[in-house]
Chains A and B, each alone.
Chain A
């Protein structure tokens, strides 16, 4: 069993991991940058090592310093949290070579998931649904039409060498394909000097659905239900909930089974998340696999009663999963709201500074994951997330009420936050209806 864990992260996730370790009787080592000497994680751990100046590249992203801190502190494992080095296969590889237990999957798995094209192919081979479209590129309209049939309409035509939205067009039907293809191809030729085009099924108004899985060394894989993370701004999730309101029991089973299949296809180990796009039609497609603990893991913990961080540590210690799929019971409904230090009125620019007063609510079914306290200086160098408020109630309706009530109680003064913006979201009829998709924020902001 792991005896001492170094947490290669900061903020609330570091605090979250320290708490789990303490409950398990495991010693903790925090690392901090010079800007984080007063951060909660640095004060809460059994031992704290300052690993460098404020910029992440010289501290939380600096592999050598983190490995040195591990060696000198005598820690035998590293928990990478999320962000920073959590999905850096090179870091995992160095841990492996140094005989440090990396609490997460193997470096090979991280590398394989990071290679999107390879991951898609692996999933296709394993029978996990992926967005239809061939790996072959089309150079003529005739080729394009043939590939579009395979991909099924509406299709997205995009430049093989593309990026930044150039050389991209949607063709909803066969009639408009030629026009769209030629325009996109011309754009691609102008921008990238090449007219090879990929044709892919265009997933319209999808929901972002992800499935939490746990897998041990012995090939046991269980899914812990899905999370609906459709409320996103520029790929940044704002509100997450579980279960997904519009998913039928039958579809839920199907999508969770697909996630387990995906994990088994790569011999996955530890906690992971399989992301899907869910079309209104009910079709869903594999997007990618996240090989780390996720920000929104508390809502899964609420509805399953399973402590994901503790499970990660147990799996990394080589233990067998203590439960099977049929032991997993999803109960009630949970919602998470992210509270960020950002100015919603000015393009959500980050707002670091000193927190004068932080009052965070509690009560039955309310959980706060945070690393802020009154008087803390929020440094400008890192992610702007201050706290995660998550709630649980037997029904969605009650959960929304609870979230509204709790968020209404949060007080953070001294810096600007997105609390009001988030309050607006969770009280809006569109959100309450549950009929959301990834275009939600775009529509919401226009109002």
Chain B
């Protein structure tokens, strides 16, 4: 017999039904809790708000009201709203359209699906546009298009950067062809803003689709996305119905777009303001140059001379630092940007922006990994066409904003494979040589280990090329050379000697300007001496190019390569 039946306790247990008529009793007030649409968990609204509308249980993102978004991004009280009184059109004469808008205005206290204006992000002035899904799924009609366009026009006039948080179901059906024209109108305004050398950042939030994706959402110099946001041109349901197939998990989500090269980075809501601040900081005034000086550098040298083959082996050494290590040391505020904006984000090429000695720079690096796992991820530092296209995209961005470009070269060669050929490996390399030759900003390339063939040259058409003491630079690998000329790849060491691929050889042939001395067994633990040389060298390079003339640089670069 269980105890529960033995205890003498109250017989009748009144339940909540006894209290139906009392309004004094406990009740959950409207809006006290939110149900997470992702995990189904009930969340205390106050906590959800504190957590910037991210589910504390599953990390799922709720859609944000425009006002809350503005508060989370702009400094308190700095927002000045623009153009909140534009009258809508009803070009198709859709019955009840005006009434519907009126009702929405009342319900949401918004005048239309986008709020635009000007404000400060940690002190940096910026024009801000925020879309709000509550208003007709933030579809773009004439008013949305007009507000965005006016914001860009005014930003161009006032020389201000623009940030837009996008969210939209697409064009507004009720406004027909006029709605379609908004896509062209906004894009044209952005072009003028861009031609004026001004920065435009988009932040894609859930959901960004249709005509907004196919216009201003995808035109940012930098495109960020919130985690898990639906981003696409055609909506998933439409695609499924058209092709008669089920779409894979994660299709058209931010992560999918990042992987496919259309998004520079995915940024969480809690980091968003800081991240935007960094981006604005890198693009704000040019910054004052503070040259870096390093004292005398003492390097422990090995005794005895190394053969070219020794150097080949050293340059491929598994403990040798990779580009990422130098970036960490030299550019602690580096932020990485991803993607070629065509098809992929190639991890064999890393790129982004940072400051060096107070000046903004673009950093591009062919990147090997530290271990096998990282190397598989980075394809052993062998870029695909997507990698070269990402590099070029970032170089063009640097050109627009007048930033010097610093490239780290470290690749056995461009990737040789099926997809690489399909996507035009040769074209991608050629395009880089072509474009880099006339880039209107200073370009420095540093060969840190292996520089194999066209795959290396595609990021080394530069004003200056430097080379690590034990790095190599060649038309192809010694193994390849031996096998082509002597039909015996085992004679690679012999080939290495014949090929003249060492830093000294390069200096002699004026292929490189400077040799970076290495300590014995260069690895992450003794990286300081080479970092010190690079720091001083890069500082000198930037210092010499403070008031560069783009045309002049391009001409000199032409002459440099003309001489070979």
Contacts and interface: CB of A to CB of B under 8 A. Distances in A.
Q: Do A and B bind each other?
A: yes
A67 interface: yes
A360 to B, nearest CB: 15
A99 B333 CA distance: 50
Contacts of B15: 72-74
The 7 closest A-B pairs by CB, nearest first: A74-B16, A43-B4, A100-B26, A64-B42, A46-B10, A47-B13, A74-B15
Contact of A90 (B2, B14, B44): B44
Interface string A65-98: 0010011111110000000000000100110011
Q: Is the interface of B mostly helix, strand, loop or mixed?
A: loop
Interface in B3-20: 3-4, 7, 9-10, 13-19
A43 B27 CA distance: 27
Which one of B10, B26, B33 has the greatest number of beta carbons of chain A within 10 Å? B26
Q: Is the interface of A mostly helix, strand, loop or mixed?
A: helix
B9 A67 contact: no
Given A43-B3, A90-B44, A76 B26 contact: yes
B498 interface: no
Contacts of B10: 22, 27, 46
Contacts of A72: 15-16
A44 interface: yes
A70 B26 contact: yes
A74 B2 CA distance: 27
A98 B29 contact: yes
Contacts of A4: 14
A99 B26 contact: yes
Contacts of A45: 9
A290 to B, nearest CB: 24
A27 B32 contact: no
Interface string B504-546: 0000000000000000000000000000000000000000000
Which one of A22, A94, A100 has the greatest number of beta carbons of chain B within 10 Å? A94
B81 interface: no
A384 B382 CA distance: 58
A373 interface: yes
23 contacts: A4-B14, A27-B13, A38-B2, A43-B2, A43-B3, A43-B7, A44-B9, A45-B9, A64-B42, A70-B26, A71-B16, A71-B26, A71-B28, A72-B15, A72-B16, A74-B25, A94-B44, A97-B32, A98-B29, A98-B32, A99-B24, A99-B25, A99-B26
Interface residues of B, number: 26
A60 B47 CA distance: 19
Given A27-B13, A99-B27, A94 B32 contact: yes
B46 interface: yes
B25 A76 contact: yes
A63 interface: yes
Contacts of B24: 99
Interface of B: 2-4, 7, 9-10, 13-19, 24-29, 32-33, 41-42, 44, 46-47
Contacts of A97: 29, 32
Contacts of A90: 44, 46-47
B257 to A, nearest CB: 34
Contact-size category for A: 20 to 34
B13 A98 contact: no
A109 interface: no
Contacts of B28: 67, 71, 98
Nearest to B13: A47
B26 A46 contact: no
Contacts of A46: 9-10, 13
A40 B4 CA distance: 8
Contacts of A74: 14-19, 25
A256 B32 CA distance: 40
Given A70-B26, A98-B26, A99-B24, A44 B44 contact: no
Nearest to A65: B42
Contacts of A22: 9-10
A97 to B, nearest CB: 5
Nearest to A70: B26
Nearest to B22: A76
Contacts of B13: 27, 46-47
A64 B14 CA distance: 22
A46 to B, nearest CB: 5
Nearest to A373: B3
B52 to A, nearest CB: 17
Interface string A26-44: 0100000000001010111
A75 B18 CA distance: 11
A259 B29 CA distance: 37
Contacts of A100: 26
Contacts of B2: 38, 43
Interface string A321-360: 0000000000000000000000000000000000000000
Nearest to B26: A100
A44 B7 contact: yes
A332 to B, nearest CB: 32
B3 to A, nearest CB: 5
Nearest to A95: B26
A247 B26 CA distance: 46
A73 B14 CA distance: 8
A99 B32 CA distance: 12
B44 A63 contact: yes
Given A27-B13, A44-B9, A46-B13, 8 more contacts: A22-B9, A22-B10, A72-B16, A74-B18, A76-B26, A97-B29, A99-B24, A100-B26
B216 to A, nearest CB: 40
Contacts of B14: 4, 27, 74
Contact of A64 (B7, B27, B29, B41): B41
A93 B9 contact: no
Interface in A87-131: 90, 93-94, 97-100
B388 to A, nearest CB: 40
Nearest to B17: A74
Which one of A22, A43, A44, A90 has the greatest number of beta carbons of chain B within 10 Å? A43
Given A43-B2, A63-B44, A73-B16, A98 B27 contact: yes
Given A72-B16, A73-B16, A64 B33 contact: yes
Contacts of A76: 25-26
A133 to B, nearest CB: 32
A93 B46 contact: yes
Nearest to B11: A46
A112 B96 CA distance: 53
Nearest to A43: B4
A98 B41 CA distance: 18
Nearest to B45: A97
A32 to B, nearest CB: 12
B332 to A, nearest CB: 14
Contacts of B27: 71, 98-99
A103 to B, nearest CB: 13
B364 to A, nearest CB: 31
A94 B27 CA distance: 11
Contacts of B47: 90
Nearest to B25: A76
A137 B356 CA distance: 33
B435 to A, nearest CB: 43
Nearest to B41: A64
Contacts of B4: 42-44
A74 B25 CA distance: 8
A90 B24 CA distance: 22
A62 B18 CA distance: 26
